[in-house]
Amino acid sequence: MRVGLRVLLGYFAIVALTGVLLAQVFVQQIKPGVRQAMEDTLIDTANLLAELASDDMKSGHLADGRFAAAVAATQQRDVGADIYGFDKLRTSYRISITDARGIVIYDSEGRDVGRDNSKWNDVARTLAGEYGARSSPETPGDTENTVMHVAAPIFDQGKIVGVLTVAKPNRTVAPFIQRSQQKVRDAGIGLLIAALAVGIAVAWWISTQLGRLRRYADAVTRGERADVPEAHGEFGVLGQALATMREKLEGKQYVEAYVHALTHELKSPLAAIRGSAELLDDDVERMTPAERARFIGIIGEQGDRLAQMVDKLLALASVEHRQSIESPKALSVADLVDEAVSDLSPRARSANVVLDVASIDSALRVEGDAFLLRQAIGNFIDNAIDFSPDNGRVSIDAVSDGVHALIRVRDAGPGVPEYAKARVFERFYSLARPDGSSRSSGLGLPFVAEVAGLHGGSATLENIDGGAQASLSLPVL
């Protein structure tokens, strides 16, 4: 499972669990909270009505006095209230009054007059001088609908002479409870959706940052050129650390590989120089002038080979170690080819080879480093001259397919042997020259391949009718 998905699942699980628990707590607390608020209101109402009813109770006119008339009128009143979207047309209080024995002597609905309520908590506790309240089923056996009863004492000279109970069905506040609970649930669902969206965004961001670093590490593992990916925060620090580690490791491995390769390649020319020098030193008196000249020529030739190898190795190393072109410029392909041909014309004449340059569209342009590209084209031409026969012809042209510019160098030599096709761009790999001269350093074509890769292109060498063709492909502007 990917890290981003793990982060998303972990984050969402925590947020979801927290949201569900909070929503559950809120939902469970709404109902008792509303009923507690209603009970508080009923306490105030019961005590107020107890004071208003005390005079009629003392005078014995409770059933036909001003208090009973006011209650009856209140119950007939059209309230016509809109309470946050809920209509209220009538009052929903029921008022009952018991005497000091707990016997009902007044009932606003006229149903329970004469009933003994002395056992009910509201009446019994109030008569005992305590706060009395109870919640009972609206009808016997009904567990869904209950009625809240809150009582207040009626005093006569400081003595409790009766109890006034205000009853209100809990179903009157049920719509408010249900709406509040639904709002909490909706808010909880909205919170979960928002949390999921935030979690997806965070997970995507983390996954993107890690993906860039992973692709960079994969490219480094494959030995490809790759820039440090853009990353933020600790991911950016990690990317820079990876780049630094890469430079340290590549630098060490690079030096080790080059020292090993250079040591191996230097053995042959050094052995030839040493052998020739020893022969000249030991047998100089017995040598003919021709033999002496030959050994001296070998020393000079191998010395030149060593110098060429070191120079090309340094050039190749400078290219291989670069990750990108620092200051790329728009360049004319025709100008690059003309300059490379001009540099190698003397060598072509001395080798009795004709350089045939086709007309190249002056509008064909690429972006890159002029010096490196001239060197790359020059290496192709130099290689073609080496493998061209006497009086041979090397043709150079450039074409475009709209995406890439293809610079082609063709010779009339023997072509590339089958066994060598896969190795021609290997470092230090070279083929014997047709004229029997010594092999090259084997660094020219690897240099071209590195320059091509540095410019986002590629280099190929293939056989064609009557020779070989080297191609340098570069993105066009």
CA angle at 96 for the pair 93 and 102, rounded to the nearest 5° = 150
pLDDT in tens, 377-386: 998 998 999 8
Write out 70-90 in H/E/C secondary structure: HHHHHHHCCCCEEECCEEECC
CA pair distance 389, 347, nearest whole angstrom: 14
What pLDDT is stored for residue 249 in this prediction? 53
What pLDDT is stored for residue 254 in this prediction? 45
What pLDDT is stored for residue 318 in this prediction? 60
Instruction: Give all domains of the chain, ordered by start, each with its CATH number.
Output: 25-177 (3.30.450.20), 225-323 (1.10.287.130), 324-477 (3.30.565.10)
Over the chain, what is the mean pLDDT? 81
CA angle at 134 for the pair 130 and 140, rounded to the nearest 5° = 145
CA dihedral 114, 117, 123, 129 (to 10 degrees): 90
Check if the beta carbon of residue 328 is closer than 8 Å to that of residue 474.
no
User: Position 170: which residue type?
Assistant: N
pLDDT in single tens digits along all 477 residues of the chain: 565 566 666 766 777 777 777 666 666 777 788 888 889 999 999 999 999 999 999 988 888 899 999 999 988 888 788 877 778 778 888 999 999 999 999 999 888 899 999 999 999 999 999 999 999 998 887 777 889 999 999 999 889 999 999 999 988 888 877 888 788 778 778 877 877 777 777 777 777 777 777 777 777 666 666 666 776 666 677 766 766 666 555 544 444 444 545 554 565 567 667 777 776 676 656 677 777 777 777 777 667 656 655 665 565 556 655 666 777 899 999 999 999 999 889 889 989 999 999 989 989 999 988 888 988 899 899 899 989 998 999 999 999 998 999 999 999 999 999 999 989 888 778 888 776 666 676 778 888 888 898 888 999 999 998 899 999 999 998
Distances from the Cα of 60 to the Cαs of 55, 57, 110, in angstroms?
A: 9, 5, 17
Q: At what angle do helices 289-320 and 234-282 cross, to 10 degrees?
A: 180
CA pair distance 43, 151, nearest whole angstrom: 7
Query: DSSP string spanning 123-148?
Result: HHHHHTTS--EEEEESSTT-SS-EEE
What pLDDT is stored for residue 369 in this prediction? 87
SS3 at position 185: helix
CA pair distance 144, 174, nearest whole angstrom: 11
Structure token pair of residue 448: 């071209």
Spell out the alpha helix ranges (H) of 283-394: 289-320, 333-350, 370-387
Beta-bridged to residue 61, according to DSSP, are none
User: Is residue 186 within a helix (H) or strand (E), and if so which, with residue range?
Assistant: helix 174-221
What pLDDT is stored for residue 434 in this prediction? 76
Sequence-separated (6 or more) residues with CB below 8 Å from residue 84:
176
What pLDDT is stored for residue 357 in this prediction? 93
Whether the pTM exceeds 0.75: the reply is: no
CA pair distance 90, 76, nearest whole angstrom: 7
CA angle at 321 for the pair 319 and 325, rounded to the nearest 5° = 60
Q: Strand 392-400 to strand 353-357: parallel, antiparallel, or no bridges (unpaired)?
A: parallel
CA dihedral 111, 116, 122, 123 (to 10 degrees): 120
What pLDDT is stored for residue 298 in this prediction? 73
- What DSSP state is assigned to residue 395? E
What pLDDT is stored for residue 233 in this prediction? 66
Rg (CA), the chain: 51
What pLDDT is stored for residue 152 in this prediction? 96
Check if the beta carbon of residue 302 is closer than 8 Å to that of residue 272.
yes
Structure token pair of residue 386: 């080496």
Distances from the Cα of 437 to the Cαs of 351, 431, 440, in angstroms?
A: 12, 11, 9
Check if the beta carbon of residue 175 is closer than 8 Å to that of residue 21.
no
Distances from the Cα of 170 to the Cαs of 93, 147, 192, in angstroms?
A: 11, 5, 32
Largest Cα separation within the chain, whole Å, is 163
pLDDT in tens, 242-256: 666 665 555 444 444
Structure token pair of residue 240: 């820079």
CA pair distance 327, 377, nearest whole angstrom: 20
What pLDDT is stored for residue 28 in this prediction? 72
Check if the beta carbon of residue 357 is closer than 8 Å to that of residue 317.
no
Sequence-separated (6 or more) residues with CB below 8 Å from residue 63:
105, 106
